[in-house]
Structure 1
Amino acid sequence: MEKLAGAALVAGWATAATAAEDGASGPLGGIARLIELGGPVVPVQLALSVIALAIIVAKLVQFVRARAWSHGFVDPVARMMHGGDFAGADAALARETGPVAAVMKAAAAGRATGAADATVREEVERIAQAQLDSLERGLPQLGLIATISPLLGLLGTVTGLVGAFQQLARAGDRVDPAILSSGIWEALLTTVIGLVIAIPAATCYGLFQRTVDQVGRRAEDAATRVFTVDLYRRFGLREDPERPLAELQAAE
């Protein structure tokens, strides 16, 4: 993903430079015009927008391929294990992919070896952390872009206003309101660009981070249900996701 973002950055700079040099019409000409009006902050903002878009697309593809939202198999597999149908549970798990499935497979495989639960839990936690690290890769950069884009816009606005008032001061008695209004319009352009970048970047960052957190909780729940199989089998209880501990305590 870092390679994709780097390639997108180079492409964005190349596009902007070509438009500025050739005076191209259409979208490229519009980019060149934005750079001309907004000043040196705009190229940085455009580069950040390209990087943010590359990260968002890459994360969407990764989440879909990894089936990050897939967890409906956990309940049926847990019920099979609690009923003693470990062969059926293993077969059902073998057909599943994704972070939650990987963690549940590791827990089931570890318990099947007869190793101590503490040792198996350490390995399961390692696998779970590796899965979460993979899903989180690129999100800090996206969050940083969402944070600094409005600040860059504010910086461009302030520097633009400084330039506008300098032109107004140089005009002396021959003050033309058009000079000030034009300068303010150009200065505010960087703020608009910063907000246009920050809003979708912050939205996607929040959605992606929430998905990662949900995957972590579901993976922890799936692993715990594998380790507590003996409790349910010992008391012959039917699992109630709403009150599992209450049932166990009552049975004791």
Structure 2
Amino acid sequence: MTRRSAPQTRHLVALALLAAAMLTACSDGEDETETTAAPPPPSAADRLTQAHGVLVEAGSLHLAMSGSDLPEDQSTYIISATGEGTMDPPAFDGTITAQMAGIQADVPTVAVDGELYVKLPYVPRHVRTDPEDLGVPDPATLFDPEEGLVGLLGQTQEPEFGERRREGAEVVQEVVGTLPGQVVRDLLSAGDADADFDVSYGLVEEDWQVRTVVITGPFYPPATSTYSLMLSSYGAPVTVTAP
């Protein structure tokens, strides 16, 4: 048996220690890679939450709403609406096009401080009225920061990403899901409370503004109708006062 000299032994020990250190460093590197791995990309629900915050922070916006596949046998319903609104307080100033008692009319409308003022055909000025008397929703509720359009985002069930498309200068990511009928009815005063409604949001990438909201379902059963909303001019100065 050959005996190694002291220098040879020390050299072998040093090599062993160096190899152990290298293995430890490699192991530490692997652990660090695992712990610093990139987080998963935002889900559709995450994007709706983000869009919710952007919408509330804006405080005001322009709204354009239009209906399609509306049943002609209904005597009273909203055909379209356009105007500006604020969230604090919830208020609206614009024009609602409605079918009322079988007659279509453009109705200048102001809703503020819990009151609704409309300028009906052949009436020279706005008059205060009750939404239930006209059979229409209070448009100010659309801008309520908790129960209005903002509230739909958090009520959307099983949200998923849809198509991604370019619309003019904007890139829009679609998020699709369903809304409980009661939520839709509470907001628009129309719809089967026991049914589910399909909903699609168009979210602008980068700033995650809600650009479009499209809701389809039995607004006037048994027919299936659609209301499409376009939201723009986030944060633009808006003042709504009673006429």
TM-score normalised to structure 2 length: 0.25
Relative contact order higher in (CA < 8 Å, ≥ 6 apart): 1
TM-score normalised to structure 1 length: 0.24
Query: More helix by proportion, 1 or 2?
Result: 1
